[in-house]
Amino acid sequence: MKTLIINFILMVLSISCTSVSLGNERNIENADYPLGIKNIIVVVENGNRASKAIIEFHHNIKNKGLSRETFHVEGYEVTRIYANNEMDESSEGKDGNYIIIELNKNIGAPFTKNSKLKIIQKGLITVSNGERYKVLDKVLLNNGVIFK
């Protein structure tokens, strides 16, 4: 009987270990997500318009899994989404701690230092080790504004 119980425990452990190692797809806890959101504003003829949102993460984000559908920004048209290792735009995305959400500068209300962008995550975000940030069930708001 003791042997049967030990064999059962070993079988359960081996199944759970196998399922974790098969894709490394467990969800990262959202307690540390996101580290911060900032908007970068550009001045255009018809007033200040948000040109991009930058979300900083604790983990290195895989660029390959991101698309224009990963995030929605209320009241704005998302033109491009990619990862980067700096808080700056890039012609080609690369794995890094920042997700850059580029916005159509001609759409959206004029922006002031007290304005808030409402950002909604629509897709999974994969980090370099294969783990994923699950889709959040809340709206993300910026905590800073940079005027260029």
- pLDDT, residue 138, reads 81
3-state class of 21 per DSSP? helix
> What does the alpha-carbon distance between residue 108 and residue 94 come to, in Å, rounded to a whole number?
28
Quick check: 27 pLDDT over 60?
A: no
Quick check: 32 pLDDT over 70?
A: no
Model pLDDT for residues 86-124, shown as the tens digit of each residue:
988 899 999 999 999 999 988 888 888 788 889 999 998
Average pLDDT rounded to a whole number, residues 137-144: 83
- pLDDT, residue 79, reads 95
Average pLDDT score, the chain:
76
Higher pLDDT, 3 or 40: 40
- pLDDT, residue 23, reads 40
- pLDDT, residue 6, reads 44
| Angle in degrees, CA 115, 117, 121, rounded to 5 | 165
Residues 6+ apart with CB under 8 A from 95: 60, 61, 62, 63, 83, 85, 128
- pLDDT, residue 24, reads 41
Higher pLDDT, 93 or 136: 93
- pLDDT, residue 11, reads 43
Quick check: 19 pLDDT over 50?
A: no
